[in-house]
Structures are given as C-alpha cells and as structure tokens.
Amino acid sequence: MVNLKINGISVSVPEGSTILQAAKIAGVEIPTLCYLKNVNCIGACRMCVVEATGARGLVAACVYPVTEGMEVQTNTERVRRSRKTTLELLLSTHKKKCLSCSRSHSCELQRLSLEYGAEEDMFETTDKFDTPLDTSSPFLIRDNDKCISCRRCVAACNNMQSVGAIGLIARGYNTHIGSAFERPIIESPCVGCGQCIVACPTGALTEVSNTDQVWKAISDPSKKVVFFTAPSIRATLGEEFDYPVGTNVEGQMVSAIRRLGNVEVFNMDVTADLTILEEASELIDRVVNKKPLPMFTSCCPGWIKFMEHNYPELLGNLSSCKSPQQMFGAVLKTYYAQKNGIDPKDLFVVSVIPCTAKKFEVTRDEFDYDVDVALTTRELAKMIKTAGIKFRELPEETYDNPFEIATGGGAIFGATGGVMEAALRTAANMLDGNFETVDFPDVRGTAPIKEATYNVAGITVKVAVTSGLANARRLIEDIKAGKKDYTFVEVMACPGGCINGGGQPHVGDSVRNWTDLKDLRAKALYKYDTDHKLRKSHESPVVDMLYKEFFEKPNSHKAHEILHTSYTKREKY
C-alpha cells in the first residue's frame, strides 16, 4: 500500500494506483473528459490536472501514479485556472448549438463549462463549423464540428469492440475522427452497436431520431399504432427521470406510452419467450442430428453484423431465429393483424429498444419492414418529456392483451447470460421433463467470458457466454483454433448486454467511472425474474396460445416461414 494525502486527507491505496483513483477513495472528485474507465486512459484532455509533490508542473491525475508520502492538491487557483483555460480552448473549436443539441443538459463539456465559469468566446477561431454531417447510416449521425477529440469513441470501437470502424485522421490541429479514407460510416465495418455514442461526452455522436415518424403515425387516423418494449427498458428508463440506477419502472413506462396517444402497448418479453421455444428446439435438433455446432444465439443485430463482416464462414452456426424484436413485428403483421381484421399496411409497429443496431435491423431486406420504427430508451424519454407527461406521478399500469403476460425467462434477456439461462431452462425441460433447475448462476455476471457444462438426459451440453465484441472475437478465434469446444454460445455486442446498450440513457463519466451500471441494471431484471410466478419460457400462456392458434409447434414449417431468417455475407475488412 502507498500512503499519501489528497487535499490534506490521508489515504492508503494499492501500489500502482493513479492519483484519480486515490482521490476517489479519499472522497475527492476530480473532473475528467477524455478518461473513461476500462475504455480510454490517455491523459490527453488535461481536465484532470492537479499539483503533486515531486512533479514538475501540473500532472494528469488519470495517468499519474501515486508515490509514498505524496501530497496532492486538486483545487488550487493554478489548477482551476488551467482547467478553465482548457475548457475555453475546447469551446473555441466547438460548434455551440447547445439549445438544439440532443445532448443539452447531458453534455459533459457543457456541465464542466458551467461549473468552471468558462467563457465560450474567450478565444477567436477561424473555423466555419460547416463540416458535413455523416448521415449515411440508419442508426448514427456524426457531427465532427461538435467533436472535442477526446478519443473515447475511438477507444470504445477499437479496444472494447475490436471493430475499428473509426479512428484518427490527419495530424496536429487538423486531427479529426472518421472512417478509413474518409468513407461514410455506412461503408465501414461499423456494426451499429452505439458504444461510441455512449462514450461520447458531447453531441458529436447521436442516434438517428425517429420520433417524428412516430408522432406522425399517432396523429394519422388511418394508422393503428402499437408499441412494444424490450426487456431491459423497464430497468433503465427511470434514469431519464432521476430514479436511481436499476429502478424497475415498468408500470409507469406502460402508463406513459399510453398517454402519448391512441396506442396499444405490448410486452416484448412475449417474443423473447417465443425465441426461446424456437431456439431451444433448434439447438436440440442440431445436437441430435449432428448439425453444425456450436450454435450461436442470434438475438443481437450488432453481433450478427459483426459475424457477417468478420466470420462469414461461421454464418451456418448462427441460430436461424429472428431476434425478439423482429419476431414481434412478424407476429403483429400476421397473427395479430389477421385476428383483428387489420390490413398490415395500416399497422404501424414501434419497438422501444436499448440498442442503435436495432435501427439497422428494421431496415434489413430479410425482414420486409415488419417493424416500422425502433426507438431507443432515450428517444422514448424525449417523447414523454415533449408530451408534458409527469412520469414520476404516473400510476402503474399493465400491458395490453393479448401480449401482456410473459415469463421471467423473457425478462432476463436484457442481461448478458440471460438468453443462455432462459434457453437452458427450456431446452433441459424438452430433453428431460423432470429437470427442475431454474437458476443457472454460472452464466450470470459481467465476466468477459463465462463457461459451464451441464448433463441433461445423458447429453453433455457445454456452453459459453460473452459480451463485448473484443471478447467475442477472442472466443471465436479459440473455437476456430480448436482450443475450445462448445455446444451453445451466447454473444451480445454490448458489454454487459442490452442493459448497457448504445441506446440507453446517457450517464456522465463522474458516475459511469465509479458505478457499475451493468450490475445495478441487471439486478433489476433478475429480481423481476425471481419474483415472477412463471420463470420458464415454455410456461408462457401467450406463447402456448400462439402455437395452438397459429404456429402449430416450435420449428414447424409455418414457424420457419415467419419466425426464422438467413444472413448475408458482407465485405470483410
């Protein structure tokens, strides 16, 4: 342990700790901009500078190691003046459209500028702020005139996701972020995960907003508008309305959506359960009939696109099941439309999802626009605020029939390992009707790669779970090299799963760096599952109804026509 003082406060920290880490233990907050824990630590922005004994000049707390007896001052006049000047220099080359920026009030540059009293026009600039927006993709907009070159997005894309869709271009003052050869983002290997948006501290990266389309559909008397919400939304939407991280606001969420207009609100957990019935049946068929293994889950569109770009030779190992989002769209525009005498063209389907890759997924030709619009958690929150709905004062309401009741297995889809656990509950029951185990703790948690082996009805099932595409790449390379042998593998593109998706609420680095958002949000889903009367997907009365009235049985010909899909080999980078 190393002993030092932070602003006169004695503190002991492990050798190798940084001043920033020591300050946190001492209860002292040091501002950061380019630093993002476990993602980006380069000491470039100079917002975290402090005075420290033994150091020549100001040092960056995020990278400077502590030494025995060191005394650190984080709030001297010299430090405050340096930070204010840094902010004013950043503002001089930043397009200040704060009133109309989607990140207004959640922008870290804006917050720090206000706290330090930075003058936005202290330094003149020759910049015209006319760099064209990159609007080439259906999920992301890049505005480089708002970029502060913190490199957090680059680190997220390259280090955390191993995608490499963006990087640094040019040198010195002309350095900017973009795709190789200045190509638009849609022509890069970008998978749409949105982790760059989550990492960005300003409005340089935002999702493509589809709220206007939804408002227009709600106002159109010829349209029947239906919403359905993904499992993780109940555990994250509350953050947009100042609830503690991990608060389950399902009842208020349903109530708020109803108050947007004449709409119905359904539970996407229903098609998460449906996915499990189809996927578990497919897995058993592959095992029994010696078809390609391991079978990879197919719920995450960012992961699917990653495979299409990087491992097209393994596309046959992907489950052919559509994602729960696309299954719900297909169910609504077939079964639901027929049952209610609605022309599918008059049905406007809106999914509320934690994910920007889902915006790409709804545009894929394979899905024939079963879902019209995918809204992120942030977009739904914006609509609720625009409508003047006082979210915290709303009563708790339940989903509309016939897609109201789902199981705990469907709910845990939002956390890494949740799909695997739900599938194991049902697959084990299909193989052995006396298999009573419900909890599979080995596949829970946010470890990079989790492994387990189960024996069911004399069959050995080896499983693996991973999240974050850099981890997925490592796992796949081990499989290809013959170092690992699995029966079933779950992959989610975003670290921690959907609860940490690219469309979830923006959380400032002062919270994100020190709070385990993934753990707190996932706990809300697992509690929902534990408290639920129905915990296995095959116990869902709604899924049972769908098979009896429409799909006949899992993996039937009709189910394959409507609930399954194929994948596309894409350019390899």
Q: Is 361 a residue of the active site?
A: yes
Cα 47 to Cα 154: distance, rounded to the nearest angstrom: 19
Catalytic residue among 240, 361, 379, 539: 361
Number of other CB atoms surrounding residue 332 within 10 Å: 24
Instruction: Decide: 51 and 64 in contact? Cβ < 8 Å.
Output: no
Peptide bond into 402 cis (omega under 30): yes
Q: Is 450 a residue of the active site?
A: no
Tokens of 296: 């990879």
Cα 399 to Cα 472: distance, rounded to the nearest angstrom: 35
Catalytic residue among 282, 379, 421, 539: 282
Tokens of 129: 């702020």
Catalytic residue among 319, 323, 351, 467: 319
Cα 358 to Cα 330: distance, rounded to the nearest angstrom: 15
CA distances from 556 to 277, 383, 422 (A): 11, 40, 21
Radius of gyration of the chain (CA): 25
Catalytic residue among 88, 239, 250, 279: 279
Q: Is 278 a residue of the active site?
A: no
Tokens of 241: 């309305």
Collapsing DSSP states into helix, strand and coil, what is residue 539?
helix
Q: Is 299 a residue of the active site?
A: yes
Cα 216 to Cα 200: distance, rounded to the nearest angstrom: 30
Catalytic residue among 379, 498, 537, 539: 498
With helix as H, strand as E and coil as C, how does 49-96 read?
EEEECCCCCCEECCCCECCCCCEEECCCHHHHHHHHHHHHHHHHCCCC
Catalytic residue among 299, 321, 355, 494: 299
Q: Is 358 a residue of the active site?
A: yes
Q: Is 71 a residue of the active site?
A: no
Catalytic residue among 24, 84, 322, 358: 358
CB environment 46-70: b (16+ within 10 A), e (fewer)? bbbbbbbeeeeebbbbbebebeeeb
Q: Is 498 a residue of the active site?
A: yes
Catalytic residue among 366, 396, 549, 571: 366
Direct distance between the N- and C-terminal alpha carbons of the chain, in angstroms, rounded to an integer? 46
Residue 462: strand pairing partners: 453
Name, in order, each residue with C-beta under 8 angstroms of 479's C-beta and a sequence gap of 6 or more: 294, 485, 486, 489
> Rounded to an integer, what is the distance from CA 329 to the centroid of its chain?
21
The residues assigned a catalytic role are 279, 282, 299, 319, 358, 361, 366, 498
